Amino acid sequence: MPARPALHLDPGVFDLDGAAAHFVGIGGCGMSGLARMFRARGARVTGSDQTPSSVTDALIAEGFPVECADPGALPAAAQLVIASAAIKPEHPQLVEAKRRGLPVMTYAQALGRCMIGRTAIAVAGAHGKSSTVAALGHTLIQTGLEPTVIVGAACRQLNNNPDAAPTGFHLGAKRIPAGPRAGEPGLLLAEACEFNRSFHSHHPTIAAITNVDADHLDIYHDLAGVIEAFNEFARRVPPADEGGLLLIAHDGAHRTEVAAGVRARVETLGLSPEADWRVGFDPESALVTLSRDGAELARWTNPTPGVHNALNSAFACALAITVGADPRRAADALASFQGVDRRLQRLGEVGGVTVYDDYGHHPAEIDATLRALRQHERPTGRLVCVFQPHQHSRTRFLLDEFAQSFSCADAVIVPHIYFVRDTEHEKTLIGADDLVRKLRERGVEATHIDAFDDIVDHLSRWCEPGDLLVVMGAGPVWKVAHRFVQRAACPGAVTARAS
C-alpha cells in the first residue's frame, strides 16, 4: 500500500478529522492522554513504546494499535508523527518520518496546537503542576463544566469510565455546557512544563504560575534564565480584552519579573493580605479559605497535608471560579479530591510503619513534603526518607540545596542517581556518595545503598513500629515503597532494630 500524503497543517485550528497520527512513546501519561484526545477529534491513532506497561495495556484494551518493545517500522499510513520528549532524534521511526517528509511534532507542540479554538488553561510552575491541574479537572467535572484534562500523573477521579484503570485524562465537552460561560469553546486543562522551554509551544487563554525555582539548570544555566523563560510563557497569554488572564503566585514566583510586559489581566494568589485572591490555611485542621476583595468565597478541608498543597488547591479553586464554577460546589469538590499517584500518596501502615510515596525531586519539593508529613503524621519514631536523585546535572547544580532540604528527616538512604537525559561525561562528575557526604556534614544520618532490593532488605530489618517512611524521587524508586509494603505485609517482616 502506498504511503498517504503528508498533512498540510495550517497555523489555525488543528483539524485532525481523518488524519493518521502515530505516537512515538505513547506509554507516557501525557502522551496517552493526548492520543485519546486525538482519537476523540477524529484522528486515526497508532503508537509505539519501548516498554510495555499498564498504560499501553489500557490503550490496547481501548482499541489503539500499539507496538511495544520492538516498535517496528513507521506505519505506511502515517501522516503526522508525535514524539514524547524522551524520544531522541535518532529513533528509527523519527528518522523514517523525516525521510518521508512527514510533519513531526513534540508532545508540547501538539498539545499547544490542540489548545487553539478551546478555552485552554495551562498551569506552569516548578512544583505542583500535576496536583493543581488534576484538582482543577476534578472540580470542574463535579461542578458540571465538563473539561478535557491531560495531566502527567494517574488520577482515578478524572476517568470517564470509573471502572477502568486510573489515567491522567478526561474527555470533556466541545463547548462549556453550563454556568455564565455556557456556549464558549470547551475547557482544555493541561500542565505547562518548563523543561526544554516546552511551555513556549502552548496557546493558553488562561495561564497560572504557581511558583518559580531554579531547576533544569543544564538548560537555563541560572535562575535568571528560568525567570526569562517563564516571562516568555506568560507573554503568550492573549491580551485582557481578548479574555487573557495570568494568575500568578503573589510570593515565590518572581512575579514582578515574570509578569513584565504581559498584556493579559494579571491577578495574584497567596497567603499575603495584598494578594488579589487571598488564601487562609490552618495547618492543624487543614482548613483552607479563599477570599476576594475582602469577602470569603469558599472554604474546605484539604485532604492532602501541607501549605504547598493548600496553595495548589486554592489555585484550582480560583481558576474554577474564574471560568464559572459555583464557589461552594467547587469547595465541596476540593474537599473530596483524592490526589494523584505519587504525590504525597499514603500507601498504608504495615507493621506499625507508615509508608508514603512521593514524586518530589527538587530541594524545595523535598523540604515542603517532609515538613508537611512531620506536621501531619507526628510520628512517634523516626522520619526515614529514601531519596533517589533525578539527573546527575540537577544533583550537581543543587547539591548544597539538596543537603539542606532533608533537615526534617532523621535518616536518609540514597540509591544510585537516576540517569536520564544527561551525558556520560556528566555522570562522571557526581555520584550518590557526594550527596551522602554533604548530608553527614549537616548532621543527618545518611547511607548510600545502591540497589533497590538491598534497600528493601535494609528497611525490613531496620524500621520499627512508629517510624514514618517516605520514598521520594521522579525515577523508578517508587518500587522501593511498594516492595517494602508487600514484604512488610507478611507476618514478622518488620522487626525492631537491634539495640
Q: Give the distance, in angstroms, between the CA of residue 419 and the centroid of all CA atoms in the same chain.
A: 19
Q: What is the pLDDT of residues 7-61, one digit of tens each?
A: 656 667 778 999 999 999 999 889 999 999 999 999 999 999 988 888 899 999 9
Q: Give the distance, in angstroms, between the CA of residue 279 and the centroid of all CA atoms in the same chain.
A: 22
Other Cβ atoms less than 10 A from the Cβ of 312: the count is 30
The enclosing domain of 369 has a CATH number of 3.90.190.20
58 falls within a domain:
yes
12 falls within a domain:
no
**pLDDT in the model for residue 489:** 66
> Domain containing 66: what range?
20-104
Contact assessment for residue 266 and residue 206, using Cβ atoms and an 8 Å cutoff: no
**pLDDT in the model for residue 52:** 87
As a whole number of angstroms, the distance between CA 237 and CA 235 comes to: 5
Q: What is the pLDDT of residues 57-109, one digit of tens each?
A: 999 999 999 998 777 789 999 999 999 988 888 999 999 999 999 999 999 99
Residue percentage of the chain with pLDDT more than 70 = 95
The C-alpha angle with vertex 388 and arms to 386 and 392, in degrees rounded to 5, equals 155
Same domain, 321 and 356: no
- CA 29, 209, 158, 288 dihedral sign is positive
- Based on C-alpha coordinates, what's the Rg of the chain? 23
Asked if pLDDT for residue 421 goes beyond 90, the answer is no
Asked if pLDDT for residue 202 goes beyond 50, the answer is yes
**pLDDT in the model for residue 343:** 79
Strand order in the sheet with 345-350: 345-350, 353-358, 468-472, 383-387, 411-414, 445-448
**pLDDT in the model for residue 499:** 27
Same domain, 397 and 429: yes
As a whole number of angstroms, the distance between CA 470 and CA 359 comes to: 10
**pLDDT in the model for residue 496:** 37
Asked if pLDDT for residue 267 goes beyond 90, the answer is yes
Q: What is the pLDDT of residues 315-334, one digit of tens each?
A: 999 999 999 999 999 999 99
Same domain, 122 and 271: yes
Residues contacting 282, CB < 8 A, separation 6+: none
**Helix (H/G/I), strand (E/B), else coil: 310:** helix
Q: At which residue does the C-alpha cell 524500621 appear?
A: 463
**pLDDT in the model for residue 7:** 62
Q: Please say which residue of 52, 76, 104 terminates a domain.
A: 104
Q: Which of 328-342, 365-379, 390-404 is the most confident on average? A: 328-342
Same domain, 272 and 393: no
As a whole number of angstroms, the distance between CA 495 and CA 457 comes to: 11
**pLDDT in the model for residue 300:** 98
Same domain, 183 and 322: yes
At residue 464, φ and ψ (nearest 5 deg) are: -135, 165
Same domain, 95 and 131: no
What average pLDDT does range 104-128 have in this prediction? 94
Same domain, 96 and 215: no
**pLDDT in the model for residue 495:** 41
Asked if pLDDT for residue 378 goes beyond 90, the answer is no
Q: At which residue does the C-alpha cell 464557589 appear?
A: 327
128 falls within a domain:
yes
Same domain, 202 and 175: yes
111 falls within a domain:
no
63 falls within a domain:
yes
Q: What is the pLDDT of residues 139-175, one digit of tens each?
A: 999 999 999 999 988 888 898 888 777 888 999 999 9
298 falls within a domain:
yes
At residue 354, φ and ψ (nearest 5 deg) are: -90, 130
Provide the Cα torsion 158, 162, 167, 170; round to 10°: -40
**pLDDT in the model for residue 10:** 65
- Pairing label, strands 206-209, 187-192: unpaired
Nearest to 114 by CA among 9, 263, 29: 9
Distances (CA, A) of 473 to 12, 363, 455: 39, 11, 15
What average pLDDT does range 447-466 have in this prediction? 93
The model carries a pTM of 0.86
The enclosing domain of 183 has a CATH number of 3.40.1190.10
**Which pLDDT band holds residue 497 (cuts at 50, 70, 90)?**
very low
**Which pLDDT band holds residue 2 (cuts at 50, 70, 90)?**
very low
Same domain, 313 and 189: yes
Same domain, 350 and 330: no
Phi/psi-derived region of residue 424, left when phi > 0, alpha when psi is between -120 and 50, beta in every other case: alpha
3-state helix, strand, coil in the chain (%, to 5): 35, 20, 45
- Pairing label, strands 353-358, 345-350: antiparallel
Same domain, 38 and 58: yes
Helix boundaries (H) for 378-493: 392-397, 399-405, 424-427, 432-441, 452-462, 478-488
193 falls within a domain:
yes
As a whole number of angstroms, the distance between CA 494 and CA 483 comes to: 13
What average pLDDT does range 458-475 have in this prediction? 92
The C-alpha angle with vertex 66 and arms to 63 and 72, in degrees rounded to 5, equals 150
What average pLDDT does range 457-476 have in this prediction? 92
Q: Please say which residue of 274, 306, 335 terminates a domain.
A: 335
**pLDDT in the model for residue 94:** 95
**pLDDT in the model for residue 1:** 41
In the chain, the amino acid numbered 466 is: G
**pLDDT in the model for residue 494:** 44
In the chain, the amino acid numbered 463 is: C
Contact assessment for residue 263 and residue 244, using Cβ atoms and an 8 Å cutoff: yes
Q: Is 453 exposed, middle or buried (0-12, 13-18, 19+ CB in 10 A)?
A: exposed
Distance between start and end Cα atoms, the chain:
73
What average pLDDT does range 195-224 have in this prediction? 90
As a whole number of angstroms, the distance between CA 283 and CA 280 comes to: 10
Residue 85 vs residue 272, higher pLDDT: 272
Q: Please say which residue of 104, 125, 142 terminates a domain.
A: 104
DSSP string, 26-69: TTSHHHHHHHHHHHHTT-EEEEEESS--HHHHHHHHTT--EEES
**pLDDT in the model for residue 334:** 97
Average pLDDT, the chain: 90
Crossing angle (nearest 10°) for helices 307-322 and 363-377: 100
Q: Look at the chain and report how many structural domains it folds into.
A: 3
Asked if pLDDT for residue 275 goes beyond 60, the answer is yes
Q: At which residue does the C-alpha cell 467535572 appear?
A: 141
Strand order in the sheet with 20-24: 66-68, 44-49, 20-24, 80-83, 104-106
Kindly state the DSSP code that residue 261 receives in the 8-state scheme: T
As a whole number of angstroms, the distance between CA 461 and CA 396 comes to: 32
144 falls within a domain:
yes
At residue 222, φ and ψ (nearest 5 deg) are: -155, 175
Same domain, 269 and 289: yes
Q: Which of 61-75, 318-332, 420-434, 484-498 is the most confident on average? A: 318-332
